[in-house]
Structure 1
Amino acid sequence: MAAKDTRGRCRSRSASGSRDNVYGSDYKRRKSSPACSSRSNVSNPCSSTASSGKSQTESVSYWMRQRAEKMGIFYATEATDITEFYKISKEWEVEESIIYPFTGKNKQILDSLVKFIKEKLKRTTEFNDNPVTEGQRSLRNIKLCEKMLEDTENSVIDEPDQNLKWYLSRSLMKIEEFYGELLSFLRQNRFSPEEIAETDFTKLLSKFLEICLLNVDNFPKERVMEINGVPTASVPDLRIKFNRDGMTVIGVVEVKGMRLKKGPSDKKFSIQGVLNDRVLGQHAGELLVDHIESMFGVEAVLGILCMQTTIVFTLLEVSKDHLRRIVEDGEVEQRKQMKRKVGEDDAKNSGIILYTKPYDYLKEEDREEVIEFLVWLGLQTIPGTHRLQKEKSMTDQEEKRREKNGLCMHTVSECNTIDTII
C-alpha cells in the first residue's frame, strides 16, 4: 500500500521510507547514485563507493532524532536543573581536571565577575524580551542599545586588587563588544526582521559567551568519526574550547533562527515537545562526534542548543563500551539497557542526553540563573598565568586514593599533634 506525503505525492513504504525517518526526506537529494549499497541500513544508508573504493562521508546535519536512537542515544524525558551540570567535573576523571567547587581566592574572583556582569547587562531587559521587532519599537531599542554601549565605553573599574581587576577588565571589553554586535544586529534588521539569518544569532551568542570569558571558536573545523566503517562528519556553529592546546572541547553549540515553541506551562520542560526531530538528531550527532576531544573525558560531552536568543544546555553521557559498539556496528541492540559506571556500586543509563530548561540571555531573570555556570566554565579556559589554579588543599580524588591505600591524609605536623594528643 502506498501512502501520501504532505505534498500529496505517493511514496512507497520501502527501505527508503525507513531511511527518511532517520535522515530526513531531503537526504534523498544528496544520494550519489542508484547503485549505492548499504552495509547497514541504519549506520550507513548510502555507503556510496567512488572509484577510489572509499565510503562517502556522511554529515550529521541530515540526522533525525530516530537516527541517534538507533545508536542508543536518547534525550531525557524532562529537563534537569542546571546545578546538576556542575557534577560533570566530579564524576569524570580527566587529565586537565575542572576546578569545583571554587574556594578562597577563586571563589572571590567568580563572585565578583558574576556580580559585575549581571549589573552591566541589567538593562537588556528593557528590550521587552525580544530584540527582533520593527517600527517605532525597533528604533527605541536601537537608541537604548546606543546608550548602553556609550555607558560601557565610559566605565571605569575601581578595583585595587590587580589580579581581580584583570578579569573584570577582560569581561568589560567583551561586554562592549557584545553591545556593539547587538547594536549592529538591531540596525541591520530594523526594517526586515523576517530576513534575520542564523549567522546573526550565532555572532550575537558568541559575543555573549565571551563576556563570561569563554574561549569561543567562531569557525570550527570539521570533525570526523567513523561509524560502522563510514566517516561521519560534524561542523557545529560554534565550539567552546579549552585554551591551553586549542583542541580540547568544553562544549559544542548549534544555533537556529527559529523561535522556541512554548510547551504546556503546567508541565516540566520536555525538549521533544518544542524542537523537531531534525534539530534534535543533528545536535545528538554533533555531541557524539565531538566526544573524543571532550574536556570531561570521552564519556561526557557538553553542548548548547540556541533558538534565536534562547539557550538550552545539553550533556551527552555515554559509556566507553557503548561508544565502541557505535563505532563497530552503528546500530546498538538492547540500547535502552546500556549502562555506564559512575562508581564501583553505581551505574546509570548510557546514551542519555540531559538538558536544562530554556533560558533567554536577553531576559534578566533567565540570564541570572546561568551567568554563574558560564563564568565557572569560562574561568577554566583562561590561558597563561591568569588561568585559575586549584587551592592547595587536597582534592577529593587524592583523598579517596589515599584512603584506599591506607595512607594518612594529614600533614606531618598534624600527625605529630594527633600522636601527642593520643
Structure 2
Amino acid sequence: MTEESDQDNWIQSTCDGSSRDNRHPQNRTCKWTILDLRTVGLFYYNETSPVLNLLDLITSQTNMFKELSFEQNQVVQSLQSNITFNYSMDDITFGDDCLSETQENLNMIKQEDAVLAEDFLRNTVLMVHSAMRRSQPDKVSKGVLMDLFKSFVKMCGLIPMSGSEWSSKQDILQCEVSSEPDIILTSADSLESFTSPLNPVSVVSIVHILEDENMSSQSNGNDVKLKYPERSRPKRSISSCSLSSDESEEEPVIYGRIREKVLCQHAGDLVIHTLEHNKWRNKFDCKTKKSKYRPGIIVVGTQVTFTVLEYSFDHHKQLNSGNVEGEKSCIYYSEPMDILKKEDRDLLIEALVRMTNTVG
C-alpha cells in the first residue's frame, strides 16, 4: 500500500468517526462536538444580543431584512393586538386555564376576521391538548412543536420547507460532511418565479424539550469535558468580532441553556448550507467587508433563539481547500423568546415579518 493510499484511508477513518483528530470534522453535523467547531474555526459569541439588533446587523451589511413598511407595520400590529393569550409550558398542567384562554382567543379572532392568526391559534390549542393529555407539558412530541412553529412563521409571511429536501453534502477540510436541518425558511417572493431558484432565508433546528435536556457530548458512553474554542472577551457591539488566541476563554451564555450537541449541529448546518446553496451568496454576502452573513433559528420546545453566522470569504475558501490557517468565525445569537408569552411573541412577530424583506 502506497503512502498516498495510507493517507487517504486515515482521512476516511477520521471522517467516519472511528478515530478523532483535531484536523478533520466528523462526517455528519448531527455528530459534531466542540472539537469539530474548533477544527473548522467556529465559535459562539459570549453574550446575547436583542433579536432586532441581529437583523439590523444583517441589514447594514447586506441590505436584507429591511425595516417594516407601512403595510407590514399594520399587519404586525394587527397580529399583536389579536393574539392575546399569555402563558408558558410550565403553566400547562392538569387544569384547563391555558386551554380556555387560547380557545377564547381563537373565537375572538374569528369575530374580528383575523384570518392570518387562525391556523396558529388552532395549532396552539392542539399543542395544549397534547400537553394536558400527556400530563406533563415537557413530553409534547417534536412533531407537535414543529407544527406549532410552522404555523407561526406562515402567519408572519414566511414559508417553511422540509429540511429533508435540503439535505446537503460538502467537502470540509478534505472530509465529506452531510447535513439535514429540520426546516428551511424561505420568503413568499421566492415562490413567485418559475425560473428563479428558491431563496432560503434561514436554517431552523427544532429540538424536543426532553431531548435537549438529555443531550450531552459523549464518547463511548462517557461524558467528555472539552475546552471551548478560543474567543474574545465580551464586547457591547456586534458590528465586528475581534479574535485573539491569547485572550481569556469564556463560556458563551447560550451554552447555559442549549445543549452543546444542538449548538454544534446548528453551527455545522449553517456552514454546510452556505457552501451548498450558491444562491445565498448574492443575498447575504457583504463584498465591501468580504464577509458572509447566514441567519438561523433554534427552537427548543416553544422557545425561539435567532442566530447569525458571520464569516469571511477567506474562511469560506479555506474550508473548501482543506486547510484552515488561523481563520475563526463567529455566531451571534438572541435571547430566548417564548412563542406562548405575549411580550416575547410580539417581538418574534416583528422579527419574522422583517425576514420577509428579501427583495432589494
Fold shared by both chains (TM-score > 0.5):
yes
User: What value does the CA root-mean-square deviation take over the aligned residues?
Assistant: 2.8
Distance, in Å, in 1 between the alignment partners of 2:10 and 2:312 is 27
Distance, in Å, in 1 between the alignment partners of 2:12 and 2:329 is 20
Residue 89 (structure 1) aligns with: 59
CA contact (8 A) 1:306 1:312 kept: yes
Alignment pair present for 1:303 and 2:296: yes
Extract unaligned runs of 5+ from structure 1.
Answer: 1-35, 48-56, 157-171, 262-267, 339-349, 382-388, 391-422
Aligned pairs for 1:20-419 (under 5 A) are 37-39=9-11, 45-46=17-18, 58-85=27-54, 86-92=56-62, 98=64, 100-102=66-68, 107-122=69-84, 124-125=85-86, 128-130=87-89, 133-135=92-94, 137=95, 139-156=96-113, 172-192=114-134, 193=136, 194-221=138-165, 222-243=167-188, 244=190, 245=196, 247-258=198-209, 270-292=253-275, 293=277, 294=280, 295-297=283-285, 299-329=292-322, 332-334=324-326, 338=327, 350-378=328-356, 380=357
Distance, in Å, in 2 between the alignment partners of 1:296 and 1:154 is 41
The Cα shift of 1:65 comes to 2.6
CA contact (8 A) 2:186 2:198 kept: yes
Q: Assess, with a 3 A threshold, how the Cα gap between structure 1 residues 63 and 186 changes in structure 2: closer, same or farther.
A: same
The Cα shift of 1:67 comes to 0.8
Aligned-residue identity in percent? 20
Distance, in Å, in 1 between the alignment partners of 2:202 and 2:318 is 23
Which runs of 4 or more aligned residues in structure 1 lie more than 4 Å from their structure 2 counterparts after TM superposition?
A: 40-44
What code does the residue aligned with 1:130 have? M
Extract unaligned runs of 5+ from structure 2.
Answer: 1-7, 20-25, 191-195, 214-250, 286-290
The Cα shift of 1:220 comes to 4.1
CA contact (8 A) 1:134 1:191 kept: no
What code does the residue aligned with 2:82 have? K
Distance, in Å, in 1 between the alignment partners of 2:345 and 2:197 is 28
Greater Cα radius of gyration, structure 1 or 2 = 1
CA contact (8 A) 1:174 1:207 kept: no
Q: Render the CA deviation track for 1:171-199: whole Å, top value 9, x for unaligned.
A: x4341001111112222332213532122
Q: Assess, with a 3 A threshold, how the Cα gap between structure 1 residues 322 and 40 changes in structure 2: closer, same or farther.
A: farther
TM-score if structure 1 supplies the norm length? 0.62
What code does the residue aligned with 2:203 have? V
Distance, in Å, in 2 between the alignment partners of 1:251 and 1:375 is 13
The Cα shift of 1:132 comes to 6.7
The Cα shift of 1:252 comes to 0.6
The Cα shift of 1:269 comes to 7.8
The Cα shift of 1:66 comes to 2.4
Q: Which has the higher contact order (CA 8 A, sep 6+)?
A: 2
